[in-house]
Amino acid sequence: MKDTFQRNINYLRISVTDRCNLRCVYCMPEQGVDLACHEDILRLEEIARVVHSAVLAGIRKVRFTGGEPLVRKNIVDLVAMVNDIPEIDDIALTTNGILLPEMAGRLRKAGLTRVNISLDTLSPEKFSRVTRGGLLSKAWLGVESAREAGFNPVKINTVAIRGFNDDEILDFVDLTRKVPLHIRFIELMPIGAGEEAARSQYISTPELLKTISRKVKLVPEKEVAGSGPARYYRIPGAPGTVGFISPISNHFCDSCNRLRLTSEGLLRPCLHSPTEIDLKTPLRNGASEIEIASIIKLAINSKPERHDMSNTGWQGNRRIMNQIGG
């Protein structure tokens, strides 16, 4: 359905948990993480009911995220439940990849269409530093198992961080010459634990493109399946592509087609606005799918025209990224 700014809102990003098996420095604090209690998290059946209702409000694409969606018990069953909804034509997942080796095949069989894996460095030591203890070899096995399970495209999300991985940008680009991976550089956002770092370690897309084009010729690419706000390029003849997601330097609000559902059942019309609409209470009070759909339509109509992150910083500051779902 169209919102008040004539954008077609057809995409729901669902955070299935606020828990995570890593602690990336720009996403979650090391300790003292304020996690929701078990009863406050939507049950799988409740999430599936929200998707059924969302379909009545025009949603056609779903992405599972978190926290780390693969630590949510029975996530494969949830994928299968959503796959049974005929109107949903695309089910994607964003993961750190650590648990993919044991789950990729089952997720694909259950109906998952696409997978994005977050990977900020190709150095085991730096991976351990940025994730506070993660093993790069496990994440990389996750990438390989996604490819072996037949996911195509497999996209890699890399947050560009000055003084951390700016010396590896060309190595990531080089990977696309050898493997059909879609590397997407994401601008660091002033969100939650990333707020401090974003002040000093942010690298803009134009700066990245300049660095890359000094060494490598990139040609613009039309589209990669599910490309959303990313702009894609390719080294001529390479099997993979290089994409850029630029929420700060070139916000894509005028084409934003998404709503977000937090793991506690709050609907967020915009990642960067603190507005949240409670779906859990009506769900647990027995509201019908039509009634839930009308609340979702209200959320769509309250979507702001744009965010103002570059001027005002993080406006959703009551929550950090793992709580909302990245």
In the complex, the residues that contact ligand SF4 under the rule CB under 6 A are 20, 22-24, 27-28, 66-68, 96, 118, 321-322
Q: Which two tokens stand for residue 216?
A: 């490598």
Nearer residue to ligand SAM within complex by CB, 203 or 299: 203
Is position 118 an interface residue for ligand SAM (rule: CB under 6 A)?
Answer: yes
- Contact of 260 with 268, CB cutoff 8 Å: yes
Nearer residue to ligand SAM within complex by CB, 20 or 47: 20
- Options 27, 47, 183, 271; binder of ligand SAM; rule CB under 6 A: 27
28 binds, among ligand SF4, ligand SAM, none (CB under 5 to 8 A by kind): ligand SF4
Binding mask 33-72 for ligand SAM (x = CB under 6 A): --------------------------------xx-x----
Which SS3 state, helix, strand or coil, does residue 71 take?
Answer: helix
Per DSSP, what are the bridge partners of residue 13?
A: 63, 260
Cis peptide before 153 (omega within 30 of 0): yes
Residue among 200, 165, 195 nearest 183 (CA): 165
Nearer residue to ligand SF4 within complex by CB, 67 or 190: 67
- Options 96, 145, 201, 227; binder of ligand SAM; rule CB under 6 A: 96
Per DSSP, what are the bridge partners of residue 95?
A: 117
- Options 10, 157, 165, 262; binder of ligand SAM; rule CB under 6 A: 157
Q: What is the side-by-side strand order in the sheet with 231-234? A: 219-220, 231-234, 241-245, 181-187, 154-160, 114-118, 90-95, 61-65, 11-15, 258-261, 266-268, 277-278
262 binds, among ligand SAM, ligand SF4, none (CB under 5 to 8 A by kind): none
- Contact of 25 with 31, CB cutoff 8 Å: no
Q: Which two tokens stand for residue 62?
A: 């779903």
- Options 17, 95, 176, 262; binder of ligand SAM; rule CB under 6 A: 95
Per DSSP, what are the bridge partners of residue 182?
A: 155, 241
- Options 99, 107, 159, 235; binder of ligand SAM; rule CB under 6 A: 159
| Residues of this chain that bind ligand SAM (CB under 6 A) | 20, 26-27, 65-66, 68, 94-96, 118, 157, 159, 186, 188-189, 191, 194, 321-322, 326
